[in-house]
Amino acid sequence: MSPTVNVSQNGTLKHQDSNSSIFEIGDSDLSRLLTRQRPVSIERKRSFDERSFSEMSISSPPRQFYRNSENSSRVFDSFSGIGSPRSFTCVETHPIVAEAWVALQRSIVHFRGQPVGTIAALDHSAEELNYDQVFVRDFVPSALAFLMNGEPEIVKNFLLKTLRLQSWEKKVDNFTLGAGVMPASFKVLHDPVKDYETLIADFGECAIGRVAPVDSGFWWIILLRAYTKSTGDASLAELPECQRGIRLILTLCLSEGFDTFPTLLCADGCSMIDRRMGIYGYPIEIQALFFMALRCALLLLKNDEEGKDCTDRIVKRLHALSYHMRSYFWLDIKQLNDIYRYKTEEYSHTAVNKFNVMPDSLPDWVFDFMPSRGGYFIGNVSPARMDFRWFCLGNCIAILSSLATPEQASAIMDLIESRWKELVGEMPLKICYPALESHEWRIVTGCDTKNTGWSYHNGGSWPVLLWLLTAACIKSGRPQLARRAIELAETRLLKDHWPEYYDGKLGRYMGKQARKNQTWSIAGYLVAKMMLEDPSNLGMISLEEDKQMKPHMKRSASWMC
């Protein structure tokens, strides 16, 4: 158990009460209410090549022991509370697995006696800043680790607490944010005089650049589906408050405006890359998460009047979004050659170069980076602009959500395998490639000294991405790639005290400002290990290809057709 942190309140937050809200119920009453779960039989659907089971099936090794901080023996398959690995058996149990579970347990944050999340980092050697908070995106790998280990309570509590925070009034200066915005993070405020705890949240009013987290709502929906899939219990998702929370998030995204594209227009710094890095516009990370959240919402929304109206809008958007992304964001050697030969200033519905991209804007590096076999979803597409950088999270989520067709998923894996040195190097995994340097770095990042070339968001190597790579590899039938990456990470992570990120073209050096004991580095490793040893775990975070999706259109057709 990690102690709560004494902090001062940030931002201006005001709770809006509802006459019929579950949040008026006391915490103990709410816990009892949700404990009486209505079992629902949900069959696990495997959205990856079935051969991966036979390839990876192996008998369980003997029970493993590790020591906790009090040096008392514990057994992996004995359940002794949140954070202790209940039934963890590895394909090849590595010594750092036990240490990882101990570290994950230490990161747990409690609110009024209940576990509600994990702290971003427990590095006492550096200034806390906002690393003492529970981040929505950061908690996802921790949540998956707990679910895979048969410990759903902390995930349920997290989903409910963040849902409660969504109902607060959210202001940045004198501007009120949309009702559906989820917080970027929250922390526990302890009043030692009254011996009372409250939650305070950051919706972007304290973030660098004051940008609201677009991805938080998507991750919340995805995690709610993972919880439902893992536990087989739909009672949480069916609560009126959860149904309303889903609809509020989607209302922000599905509202009509001036957009001519089905993708979401975003500001820089609205996702995992939360600093100025030139991802403004239509970043692949947000579009892939948007697509996955829409598909998860279809599975979660009830078939009542409000739910049906929302699902009708979702289905229409999914058809348009899948076509747009698969057609205009996809890049392989053929498409690269087509762009190289583009004509410009085309006008009419028959235009091939619809976004009027100038062929001279193609960066030199992309011609050498693109293998003869392989491809990927590029970073951004908007009028007269294509960002050809490779972004890990967006491409992995595209595979897991089936935004990528089976052929495109295989091509992404081919690219990773062909460009292993560039994208994986000595520590998985590059958050983006290549890095911005020299004049381009000055213009795009605004001379950001934290995002210098091959550091942090600018080409840094992030161990947390290991779980996404592993999931994508298993779904694509390439578990051997995941095993290779995991073994590479195991040579350094514990010795380096679980850093947030690594620097350098090969990821050889610990990040210059990287926090140690970064929780999602720990959880990402554990999730990757558990998925590799039991591929059925992938079911909670992967979606089958939608066979009813509208057939692929010709590139000259408008996405509105």
The confidence score (pLDDT) of residue 27 equals 45
* Token pair for 365: 């590096």
The confidence score (pLDDT) of residue 111 equals 97
The C-alpha atoms of residue 334 and residue 257 are separated, in whole angstroms, by 34
Checking DSSP bridges between strand 168-172 and strand 134-135, what pairing results, if any?
unpaired
Residue with the two structure tokens 């919340």: 220
Residue 284's H or E segment, with its range, is helix 284-300
The C-alpha atoms of residue 455 and residue 110 are separated, in whole angstroms, by 33
Amino acid type, 291? F
The C-alpha atoms of residue 14 and residue 169 are separated, in whole angstroms, by 5
pLDDT digits (tens, 9 = 90+) for 512-538: 999 999 999 999 999 999 999 999 999
Burial of 80-110, coded b for 16+ CB within 10 Å and e otherwise, reads: eebbbbbebbbbebbebbbbbbbbbbbbbbb
Tell me the pLDDT band of 549, cut-offs 50, 70 and 90: low
Cα 440 off chain centre by? 28
The C-alpha atoms of residue 290 and residue 329 are separated, in whole angstroms, by 15
pLDDT at 558 over 60: no
The confidence score (pLDDT) of residue 206 equals 87
Looking only at Cα atoms, what is the longest distance across the chain?
74
Mapped onto helix, strand or coil, the DSSP state of residue 466 is: helix
The confidence score (pLDDT) of residue 207 equals 78
Checking DSSP bridges between strand 432-433 and strand 385-391, what pairing results, if any?
antiparallel
The confidence score (pLDDT) of residue 548 equals 66
pLDDT at 9 over 90: no
Q: Which of 405, 446, 450 is nearest to 550 (CA)?
A: 405
Residue 465 has a CB neighbour count (10 Å cut-off) of 25
Environment class of 211 (CB within 10 Å of its CB; exposed 0-12, middle 13-18, buried 19+): buried
User: Which tops the pLDDT comparison, 18 or 271?
Assistant: 271
pLDDT digits (tens, 9 = 90+) for 121-167: 999 888 778 899 999 999 999 999 999 999 999 999 999 999 999 98
pLDDT at 407 over 70: yes
* Token pair for 65: 């022991």
Strands, DSSP E only, in 443-542?
502-503, 509-510
Least confident span in 5-19, 178-192, 471-485, 535-549: 5-19
Tell me the pLDDT band of 117, cut-offs 50, 70 and 90: very high
Sketch the domain layout of the chain as residue ranges: 95-540
Burial of 413-447, coded b for 16+ CB within 10 Å and e otherwise, reads: bbbbbbbeebbbbbbbbbbbbbbbeeeebeebbee
Averaged pLDDT of the chain: 85
The C-alpha atoms of residue 390 and residue 394 are separated, in whole angstroms, by 9
Residue with the two structure tokens 């219990």: 233
* Token pair for 369: 């980076």
Mean pLDDT on 105-111: 97
* Answer CATH for 95-540 from 1.50.10.10, 3.90.226.10, 3.20.20.70, 3.40.50.850: 1.50.10.10
User: Which tops the pLDDT comparison, 67 or 248?
Assistant: 248
Residue 365 has a CB neighbour count (10 Å cut-off) of 13
The confidence score (pLDDT) of residue 127 equals 79
Least confident span in 113-117, 121-125, 389-393, 440-444: 121-125
pLDDT at 55 over 60: no
The confidence score (pLDDT) of residue 75 equals 33
The DSSP-derived string for 118-166 is: E-SB--TTS--TTTTSEEHHHHHHHHHHHHHTT--HHHHHHHHHHHHHH
Q: Are 506 and 426 in contact, with CB atoms under 8 Å apart? A: yes
Residue 380 has a CB neighbour count (10 Å cut-off) of 24
pLDDT at 481 over 70: yes
User: Which tops the pLDDT comparison, 184 or 62?
Assistant: 184
